[in-house]
Amino acid sequence: MTSEDNTIWDKLQTIPREVLYLLMIISMIIPLLSPLGLPIPISPQTRTLYDSLDTLQPGDVFVQFVDYSAGSMSFHEPGFIAITYKAVNKGAKLVMLSSSVEGPMMYEIVINKIKPFLDSAGYVYGEDYVYLGYTAGEETALAAIASNIRSVYTTDQYGTPLDDITLMQSVNNHEDFTMLISYTMGSPESFVRQFNTQYGVTTHIHCGEMMTPTILPFWASGQITGLLNGGVGAAEMEVLVGRPGDAVKLTDVYSFSNLIVFAFLIIGNIGFIMKGRMKE
Amino acid sequence: MSTKIVRRTIPLIITFIVGMLMIGEWFFNVASIDQVAESVRQWGVLVSAFAMGLGSVNIVIRNLRRIEKREGTDWLYAIWLLIVFFGFVGIGVGMGSASSQYQYIYNTILQPLSGTMYPATLFFLCSAIYRTFRIRSYQALLFVATGAVILVANAPVVAATFPLLVATKAWIMDVELTAAYRAILIGIGLGTIMLGFRVIFGLEQTHLGREEGD
Amino acid sequence: MGIIADGKIVDFTFLFLIWAVAALYIWVIGGDKFNIRRMVAIDAIEEAVGRAVEMGRAVIMNIGGGGLLRGEYAPASMAGLTVLGYCAGITAKLDAELLCPMYSSGGVETIPVATELIRDAYMAEGTLDRFNPEEMIPFLPVQASVMAMADRVRPAANIMVGYYWHESCIWAEAFGRVGAIQVGGTTNLYQIPFFAGACDYVLIGEEIYPVSAYISKDPRLIATIAAQDTFKWISLLLLILGALLVTAGNTWLSNLLMN
């Protein structure tokens, strides 16, 4: 390497990635150990979801697709807890199911966290909430669920026939769903296609941040009523329902890690631009 | 039976019938079509489940072969894979996926590993942004500037401190991004319709392999 | 209740018209009247394989984890299989090492199809003795395995066409670090920006669908691409007309299309 290739501007462009990763890790650990409690603005997409949940009446059937996995649990679970808390406060009946393989495992983990407020609200399994388990088939299964839930599920996750479950005796297809939400990292569009486009069911989505830009057109057109943007959306929902939890703690991490990446973006371009001017 | 009939003609006939059936079920109010389509949808659910079973058998066979060959060190990982595989299957089938034992191995093995892999995207994304986002031209300047605004405005602390940045980000997302993605969506939609046309009517046969003589 | 389901009359009309135009272009006008523009990313595949041969390194071709059983992912996987068949033909002809790692649940149902495609390509070039499915088509359960492959194999070319999730960014970066020339294409909107940023050549969204027409130069396939483009123009006209009408306070067109 010549001295021309070893200026400060070259070094700014070739900072070892290990340095970047180390700074990222530090930027995540510090706010986790010592939360700053920075303010959280509420986005319009989260607001519409909250307002829609506010319209739930006692006895309405709120369907929740527990379709997230261990990888996205850090933000999907807080969102699920906050939304379920709101739905329970409105007295809605909860029908939970999964169209992703890890759904049942995620349910078994989260049910222990929502059991306290389910119990304090007097909710009884089978009468006020039920979990039907996993069904294979992805969008094919969603279409079948929308037209006739019994064509896909004959029992709940624990083997009880649907007809023996009080709640499910009055839930047969999309006509009985007041609204639904999918916590997914897969294909939110399939829920829009099979429920909202086909039958006009109010549909909400909680997806990862990288998916939000693509789902926004559906929210803008009204096909998706409420949209939670990953961890930030989950934090916003926790604030709105008055139950700050894990997602709110993570917003400081988002702030710092985003700023670190931004700083490196600027540093790399400073090196690139100054190197170019030096050559001229 | 001739190879061509088995490998081409029969799959094409099945594709045509099922394709037209599902399209007919979507658009027409004919009870008999609805009933047949409902059955086909259930077959689809079954086939998906079978595919998973097929995949499992495939994994076992491939890794057994790797152990048999004992080349390099891969066969050691193959042994471990089979141990974990049969452990999960055995406990899941024997005691149920809702059992505390299954929960335990899931929470201690799969959950932490999955939980690590997905966020690892963040680190690769960061190094990709640092490595590739260079202002080489005016278009690149727009690209980098837009990305930078969204990156910074996504940080809640910045969003709360600089409302103008949030308004800019909202405009970019609601107007520019939505418009661009809608255009791409329309293109993908039309492309998918045409691909469906080609597949249903047998014009697209690349997925069936080459014909003899190609 | 008519024979056409409520709220789908406009959809059915458009589908019928698209098919009718495609049929018109194929069987009346003739596909040889149309041309597909040059697709740099597809042309780059042969260049990439040639580079791999010169450097004595492998070509990695991946079709994503979407599989063939899920409606939204299958079209992209089929496009990926088309590119795989094309790529396998070139590697067979130029005597390059081809690896086609399959992963995830989607890879499971695609392995037999991919195996047949690669076998057919090698058979057509008379190099069936070099076809070894066990080595050429490894099944790697997780995305990290493909990253490990990048470091171990250090390929000269990485071609990713199919349906991808977050692994698109991880792999594009991992293969970019080892100096592979990269061609990426997917219909998953969330991942297109990662390919656009990290790959040397990118196929954006629907650009992965005309690959079979572009490679084969089959007039019938080219005619369907022309029909698709015709309806893009019609969509654009409807967009402009609808926006102008709604701005003027007239909603008949938007009401009609939403019927």
Q: Which range has the worst mean pLDDT, A2-6, A224-228, B148-152?
A: A2-6
* Residue of higher predicted confidence among A103 and B8: A103
pTM above 0.90?
A: no
What count of CB pairs under 8 Å joins A to C?
24
> Is residue A262 over pLDDT 70?
yes
In a domain, C129, yes or no: yes
Q: Which range has the worst mean pLDDT, A215-229, B166-180, C13-27, C74-88?
A: B166-180
In a domain, C2, yes or no: no
> Is residue A85 over pLDDT 60?
yes
Q: Select from B45, B48, B171 the residue whose CB has the most chain A CBs within 10 Å, as the one to mutate to test that interface.
A: B45
Verify that C198 and C155 share a domain, yes or no: yes
- pLDDT for C67 equals 83
In a domain, B30, yes or no: yes
> Is residue A3 over pLDDT 80?
no
Chain A residues with beta carbon closer than 8 angstroms to that of C105:
101
In a domain, C3, yes or no: no
> Is residue B213 over pLDDT 60?
no
C144-173 in b/e form (b: 16+ CB < 10 A) is bebbebbeebebbbbbbbbbbbbbbbbbbb
> Is residue C107 over pLDDT 90?
no
Chain C residue whose CA is closest to A141: C70
In a domain, C79, yes or no: yes
In a domain, C63, yes or no: yes
Chain B residue whose CA is closest to C168: B121
Percent of chain B with pLDDT over 90: 15
Q: Do B135 and A272 touch (CB under 8 A)?
A: yes
- The CATH architecture assigned to A44-248 reads 3-Layer(aba) Sandwich (3.40)
In a domain, C187, yes or no: yes
Q: Does A10 touch chain C (CB under 8 A)?
A: no
Q: Which range has the worst mean pLDDT, A136-140, A210-214, B127-131, C110-114?
A: A136-140
Percent of chain A with pLDDT over 70: 98
Average pLDDT, whole number, for chain C?
88
Chain A residues with beta carbon closer than 8 angstroms to that of C189:
213-214
Q: Does C67 touch chain B (CB under 8 A)?
A: yes
Q: Which range has the worst mean pLDDT, A61-70, A184-193, B103-112?
A: B103-112
Chain C residues with beta carbon closer than 8 angstroms to that of A213:
189-190
What string of DSSP letters covers chain C? --SBPTT-HHHHHHHHHHHHHHHIIIIIIIGGG--PPP-HHHHHHHHHHHHHHHHT--EEEEEES--SSSTTTHHHHHHHHHHHHHHHHHHHHHT--EE--EEHHHHHHHHHHHHHHHHHHHHHTT-GGG--HHHHS-EESSHHHHHHHHHHH--SEEEEEEE--THHHHHHHHHHHTT-EEEEEES-TTTHHHHHHH-SEEEEGGGGTTHHHHHH--HHHHHHHHHHHHHHHHHHHHHHHHHHHHHTT--HHHHHHT-
**B66-84 residue pLDDT tens:** 899 887 777 888 898 899 8
> Is residue B210 over pLDDT 80?
no
Chain B residues with beta carbon closer than 8 angstroms to that of A156:
none
CB C49 within 8 A of CB C91: yes
Verify that C162 and C93 share a domain, yes or no: yes
Looking at the structure of chain B, the number of domains it has is: 1
pLDDT confidence of C162, banded at 50, 70, 90?
very high
In a domain, C214, yes or no: no
Query: Best-predicted range by mean pLDDT among A75-89, B115-129, C240-254?
Result: A75-89
Verify that C107 and C233 share a domain, yes or no: no
Verify that C15 and C133 share a domain, yes or no: no
Chain C residue whose CA is closest to B47: C69
In a domain, C250, yes or no: yes
Q: Do C190 and A213 touch (CB under 8 A)?
A: yes
Closest CA to C223 of C17, C21, C83: C21
Q: Do C4 and B29 touch (CB under 8 A)?
A: yes
Verify that C56 and C28 share a domain, yes or no: no
- pLDDT for A172 equals 94
> Is residue C94 over pLDDT 50?
yes
Percent of chain B with pLDDT over 70: 96
- pLDDT for B214 equals 47
Check which CATH number belongs to the domain holding C51 and give it. 3.40.50
**A237-251 residue pLDDT tens:** 999 999 998 898 888
Neighbours of chain C (3+ CB pairs under 8 A): A, B
Question: What domain range is C188 assigned to?
Answer: 40-209
> Is residue B147 over pLDDT 60?
yes
Q: Do A38 and B160 touch (CB under 8 A)?
A: yes
In a domain, B106, yes or no: no
* Residue of higher predicted confidence among C201 and A276: C201
- pLDDT for C236 equals 92
Residues 109-168 of C with CB under 8 A from B: 109, 111, 113, 116-117, 119-121, 123-124, 134, 138-139, 141-144, 166
Q: Select from A262, A270, A272, A279 the residue whose CB has the most chain B CBs within 10 Å, as the one to mutate to test that interface.
A: A262
HSE-up of residue B160 (Cα within 13 Å, Cβ side): 14
Looking at the structure of chain C, the number of domains it has is: 2
d(CA C118, CA C136): 9
**Residue C209 contacts by C-beta under 8 Å, 6 or more apart in sequence?**
B191, B192, B194, B195, C75, C79, C225
What mean pLDDT do residues C98-117 have?
A: 82
Q: Do C18 and B65 touch (CB under 8 A)?
A: no
What mean pLDDT do residues C105-129 have?
A: 85
Q: Do C165 and A214 touch (CB under 8 A)?
A: no
Q: Do B115 and A71 touch (CB under 8 A)?
A: yes
Q: Does A211 touch chain C (CB under 8 A)?
A: yes
